[in-house]
Amino acid sequence: MTLQQTTLHAPIIDEGIEKKLSGLTPETIRTVIDDVLSSETGPRLKAYLKTCVHCGLCSDGCHFFLSFDRNPRYSPVGKIKETLARFIHDKNRITADVIRQAAVIAYTECNLCRRCVMYCPFGIDTAYMIGIVRRICHRLGVTPLYIQDTAHSHSAFMNQMWVKEDEWIDTIHWQEEDAREEIPDLRIPLEKEGADVMYSVIAPEPRFQADLIYKAAVLMKRAGIDWTLPATPGWDNSDMAMFSGDNEIMGRITRTHFEAAERLNVKKIVMGECGHAFRSVYDTGNRWLGWTFPPIPVVHAIEFYYDLLKTGRIRIREKFKPRVTFHDPCNIVRGKGLHEKARYIIAKTCENFIEMTPNREHNFCCGAGGGVINCGPPYKSKRMQASRVKAEQLKNTGADVVITPCHNCHSGIDDILHHYKIPMSVTFMVDILTTTMETNP
Amino acid sequence: MLLTNPQKSSGTVEKKETVDAWMTPSDHLEDIQVSPDGDNVAAMFVNKEGETQLCVNGQRWEHGFERLWYPRFSPDNRLTALAWDGEAWTLIVDDQVWDSRFDYAWNTGFSQDGHHIMVVFQKDGTYGLCLDDQPWTTSFPGIGHAAISPDGTRTAAAVQMEKISEGDIFSFQQGVFSTAVDGEAWTKNFVNIWDPVFSHDGKKTAAAVRLNLYDYSVAVNGEAWRKCFECVWKPRFQPDTDDVVAPVRKGQSWTLAKNGNLFWKNRFTQLWHPEFNHDGSKLAAVVAPAFGVWSVAVNDTVWKLDRFDAITGLTYSPDGSRLAAVGMKKGRHTLIYDGKSCNRFCERVWPPVFSPDSRHIAARIETNGRYTVILDGRVWDRTYDKVWDPVFDDANDALVIRAFDKGQYLKIRAPLSHF
């Protein structure tokens, strides 16, 4: 089934990109590019650049390329040719216009999903190279306004949505009060030093989706988990600075998250259903700080739910009846191979499961990840066009519900379902679990 | 393998409180708190009227509230809790309610001796600190990183000086953050302020700052160092000189800077938590000499330890001659001290505690899912449902174990010779 592509997106004026461009000279640009390439890259980048034979096999891995009717401009190798390759080869001819184009490509036309890596005969990580382009753009001050604002929020309040400390605590108290109407002795423990588990979430949960914290608390209660949330900064595990190219703030966010867990001296951190945050905590931010692996074990919600079901700490009362499909989030599937654990949970909780095609590590990105949705409304139309293959993939399942354990995927797919008028709803795994589990295990 | 003394002793139980007996079936127990001296155990209950109350050694406090949370004992053994009476938040200290009322109050903090108590507050959408029931007279649109001076008479925080709209990245980049000390802001703003700290006499403040999106520095009393770095972490004042040191990143590696100039010669993959001993003669920090390899450096010399995945809880002995920390390897913890690893790994180890004469090191540990204490590498022979940090007696001959087991709180005096 092929959905119709709508009109090409109109030119976008992004003040965050435009404002600094006028002050950039080729000399300034060259200095920053040389500095980033010489001091922040090494053999990995050289190996990628020397190994790529421009075969184009990466192209079919990219949902932008496929959704834009195989336009080579959107192929992974094409994006590198228009950005990093020019930075390297064009020497002193990199103008502000080139930087503008590079910023648009790097921030809004690549989700850093790493699907193309699967199709490269040499395993070249295009997302890594696009990350270098973003780093250069950040250093030049040329960043989409919305994601830059998010990075500012991270730097000031250590969460991505300007949530003040009292607002976070108040939300938890309010959720606990609501939950106690259902389960009178339920607690959402804040600052419980020495608990087994620190649960961390992303800022949209206290801002817009506080019911997810409520549901997590119900799950913890039913499973008998000794858990806590920090009342201090560090409760938000998300990290848009990782995607804006502000590595220093990325590191500060990750450090704050782990030091909250160290202060509470928990045994492990359980992260809510977010993909990019897992990438930051498990792979990128921790390594910028010098930890090979997280200093305190971190498990994604999918691993946690899997363990709860496998060990019988929660049992399923009655399976979910509607036809469901599953969207594999890039950062926890290509990033950590959690696809089979996710399917185990679905097999335990859902009666009618339909695989989407392709699936598991070959699944298409939701189009929102990598900070693309965080570049804001100006780019939504383009993002929707770039998600045509995703829309077709979703529609072809004929499912009533798509489950995805990632906030970005959730938002991105919700946009796609509305844009392409697909009669399907999107849900988190915890919604399914709390609907189907026994209330008195 | 953890060593225990075959000459088993259960120590002397000096206090026993059956906390479970305080409850009626309709009550709901919240977190138990124990005073540093071990003489008071407090629990929080929801009473039959739905009010939250504190109960200390079986005696219920007079005041009940719609909500109480964050019960914490001060270092001088006073019990505090944040309280909501249905209209406003305040602090209750030993059953005495502060006069100050806030729309929100949180993050109770104490001076080192416990004589002074601080909370962060929000009132009418603006933020400040309140010390000993005296709120700052100036409040700000945002606040974070609250700090209290060593003697507890002054408070500071990173504050937002003006409101900006979400999405106004350009105003943000002009710098809208400063440090307020006792409610009075530094004269300069910065793009970011993190981790303000006081000098030992409380007269100066320093903080990590970001001058623009790329240049990091340290500001002392509002004046940034003349040199900038790729990144900085929390600064520290040197006790004897008031010099300021901070971890700084330069050329993609970390070292220490003093007053803006590079200070240590070694370069590290990471360096943080610099700590002076009491007279300033020693400066130690947690360091990563190579990627993924963690150790401790003292006066720029790295301890030669086995490979650790992470290190926390850096603690000096009272005389400043010894240093201990917690090392983590493959998800298990051990104590490290005096440049060596204790090599007794267990599920969890809490930050080490030195005896007053600096000769002994103890810590709370979790082993095989139970809790106990360790002294100089030897594990107490009994385990409990929960323990708090051990406390040495002033004579240096016994360890006070504060434990909770089977519904009972126990204060146990354990002679050091019994370990």
pLDDT one-digit tens code per residue, B261-316: 999 999 999 999 999 999 999 999 999 999 999 999 999 999 999 899 999 999 99
* Closest chain A residue by Cα to residue B269: A290
Please report the pLDDT score of residue B28 as a whole number.
61
Please report the pLDDT score of residue B76 as a whole number.
98
Rounded Cα gap, residues A68 and A71, in angstroms: 6
Establish if B407 belongs to a structural domain: no
Classify strands A298-300 and A320-326 as parallel, antiparallel or unpaired. unpaired
Are A207 and A284 part of one and the same domain?
yes
Are A393 and A357 part of one and the same domain?
yes
The domain in which residue A93 lies consists of: 15-143
The rounded mean pLDDT for chain B is 94
Are B137 and B214 part of one and the same domain?
yes
Please report the pLDDT score of residue B343 as a whole number.
83
Rounded Cα gap, residues B416 and B419, in angstroms: 6
A166, B214: Cβ pair inside 8 Å? Answer: no
Q: From A114, A143, A172, give the residue that closes a domain.
A: A143
Contact A325, A399 (CB under 8 A): yes
Please report the pLDDT score of residue A414 as a whole number.
98
Confidence of residue B46 (pLDDT cuts 50, 70, 90): confident
Are B112 and B93 part of one and the same domain?
no
Q: From B177, B193, B224, give the residue that closes a domain.
A: B224
Establish if B71 belongs to a structural domain: yes
Query: How many contacts does A have with B, using Cβ atoms within 8 A?
Result: 104
Q: From B224, B241, B265, give the residue that closes a domain.
A: B224
Rounded Cα gap, residues B369 and A101, in angstroms: 57
Torsion sign (Cα): A324, A328, A333, A335: negative
Task: Look at residue B259 and tell me whether its pLDDT is greater than 90.
Answer: yes
* Closest chain B residue by Cα to residue A268: B331
Establish if A151 belongs to a structural domain: no
Establish if A6 belongs to a structural domain: no
What is the total count of domains within chain B? 2
Picking from B318, B311, B283, the residue whose alpha carbon sits closest to that of residue B297 is B283
All residues of chain B having their beta carbon less than 8 Å from the beta carbon of residue A162 are 166
A192, B231: Cβ pair inside 8 Å? Answer: no
B142, A145: Cβ pair inside 8 Å? Answer: no
Establish if A420 belongs to a structural domain: yes
Contact B386, B19 (CB under 8 A): no
Q: From A143, A166, A193, give the residue that closes a domain.
A: A143
Please report the pLDDT score of residue B2 as a whole number.
47
Q: Token pair of B161, please?
A: 């000086």
Confidence of residue B9 (pLDDT cuts 50, 70, 90): low
Are A161 and A303 part of one and the same domain?
yes
Q: Token pair of A439, please?
A: 């209330």
A267, B347: Cβ pair inside 8 Å? Answer: yes
Query: What's the gap in Å between the CA of A400 and the closest CA on chain B?
Result: 36
Please report the pLDDT score of residue B47 as a whole number.
81
The CATH number that applies at residue A218 is 3.40.50
3-state secondary structure of A106: helix
- B331-364 pLDDT tens trace: 999 999 999 998 889 999 999 999 999 999 999 9
Return the residue in B51, B65, B169, B269 with the most chain A beta carbons within 10 A, the one to mutate for interface testing: B169
Query: What's the gap in Å between the CA of B251 and the closest CA on chain A?
Result: 7
Establish if A313 belongs to a structural domain: no
Are A337 and A424 part of one and the same domain?
yes
Are B39 and B126 part of one and the same domain?
no
- B157-197 pLDDT tens trace: 999 999 999 899 999 999 999 999 999 999 999 999 999 99
* Closest chain A residue by Cα to residue B232: A248
Rounded Cα gap, residues B113 and B317, in angstroms: 17
Query: What's the gap in Å between the CA of A122 and the closest CA on chain B?
Result: 26
Are B115 and B214 part of one and the same domain?
yes
Which of A153, A185, A267 lies closest to B348 in CB terms? A267
B169, A265: Cβ pair inside 8 Å? Answer: no
The DSSP output letter for B350 is: P
Contact B90, B83 (CB under 8 A): yes
Is the pLDDT higher at B19 or at A157?
Answer: A157
Picking from B352, B333, B357, B360, the residue whose alpha carbon sits closest to that of residue B344 is B333
B30, A166: Cβ pair inside 8 Å? Answer: no
The domain in which residue B39 lies consists of: 31-98
Overall average pLDDT of the B35-53 stretch: 90
All residues of chain A having their beta carbon less than 8 Å from the beta carbon of residue B107 are 165, 231-232
The residue ranges of chain A whose pLDDT is under 70 are 1-10, 441
Classify B324 in phi/psi space as left (phi over 0), alpha (psi -120 to 50) or beta. Answer: beta
* Closest chain A residue by Cα to residue B46: A185
All residues of chain A having their beta carbon less than 8 Å from the beta carbon of residue B331 are 297
A156, B142: Cβ pair inside 8 Å? Answer: yes
A297, B28: Cβ pair inside 8 Å? Answer: no
Q: Token pair of A163, please?
A: 């949530």
- A394-422 pLDDT tens trace: 999 999 999 999 999 999 999 999 999 99
Which of B173, B214, B251 lies closest to A139 in CB terms? B214
What is the total count of domains within chain A? 3
Are A168 and A293 part of one and the same domain?
yes
Please report the pLDDT score of residue A280 as a whole number.
93
* Closest chain B residue by Cα to residue A295: B310
All residues of chain B having their beta carbon less than 8 Å from the beta carbon of residue A255 are 272
The CATH number that applies at residue A96 is 1.10.1060
Quick one: what percent of chain B has pLDDT higher than 90? 89
All residues of chain A having their beta carbon less than 8 Å from the beta carbon of residue B333 are none
Establish if B151 belongs to a structural domain: yes
Q: From B202, B224, B246, give the residue that closes a domain.
A: B224
